[in-house]
Amino acid sequence: MDGLTLTQRINKVTYKNLRIGFLWSSKISLMILSLMLVTLWLNHFTNDSELSSLLAAQFIWQMILSGFGIIYFNRSTEPANYRLISAFYSLIYGLSWGATILILGVYVQFTLLSEVLANLMTMVALLGFYTYRNALYLAVTPILALSTWITIEDEHLTLLFSFEKFMITLIIIESGRRVLYRWFSNRVQQEHENKRLVKELNQLASHDQLTQIKNRRFFQIELEKQIKNTQRLHIPLSLVLIDIDHFKAFNDSQGHIAGDECLKLVAKVIDASLLRGIDSVSRFGGEEFVVLLPNTNLDGAILVAQRIQENLTKVAIDHPASQTSHIVTISQGITTYEESQRSTQFIEKADHNLYDAKKSGRNCYIAA
């Protein structure tokens, strides 16, 4: 999972949907304007040359704006102030289409065409900008206001009709926006929940439930991956196998609950002793832990083992039943990967060194 909260995810997907909406509405606008420009060129709007020039200038200006929108919003990078940019572009979109509708409805006196165009571009704005309410209303308000003013000026229509049309259109836009946004929000929440569940499943699959460090399954997968990297890049790879000394005696004397706490504390100490993000510690089984050290030679692995031992000594977990010390101690077997070794042979070498460390009196490490 990417670590985003639900609010952050909604914001991220909001911009993604807005970007797609702006691209789509810009392309639709460019297509409609191109058709209208061709129609103007064929003299299907007006024979007045000045009016034709005004319309042509308006269409070309809008086509430039739409082209800019296509170029700008084709970028996938989210700008820090995307809401401000979205609001500004939406306002320009609404004003430019409002001006076109006004010219067609008042000067050319194509009232029906201006009405159809107003409804069409309002629906385009709704479908494209519904994820951000401010952007939607900055786009539709100029279009609605100017198209309503055109109907008010129409002597065949009453003021009441114009007002009712304006209010009904607003109700349709807002109810449509809410339906679309509810669908959008539910989809994002479902995606967020799915990612959270995947993260939890991955956590369960790769982490030891008691100590909360990585488990043996993770270690086996990571070991094979690091061996391949070592073979391909010709870099060292080291392994430290760790066993808590006299842990059975600790469990017998202190109880299993104390034993579990001891395992968790030792795991925490080992994990804190690893200073690089590429290093990992896993619970190998019982009271055994394994540390995997990519790009680390034998000397570097010894330094890590010494650090673990020193940090555990500082914590000083009481162990009255130990035959080695009055506190919990560990034995460590250290080895470095040799060319053409299988993963099982690599682990066996570390295990052999761990066995020698125990034979040598415990509370020490053997590296070879």
* Whether 280 contacts 292, CB under 8 Å: yes
- Residue among 211, 346, 222, 326 nearest 277 (CA): 222
Question: What is the C-alpha to C-alpha distance for residues 16 and 39, in angstroms, rounded to an integer?
Answer: 35
Active site residues: 287
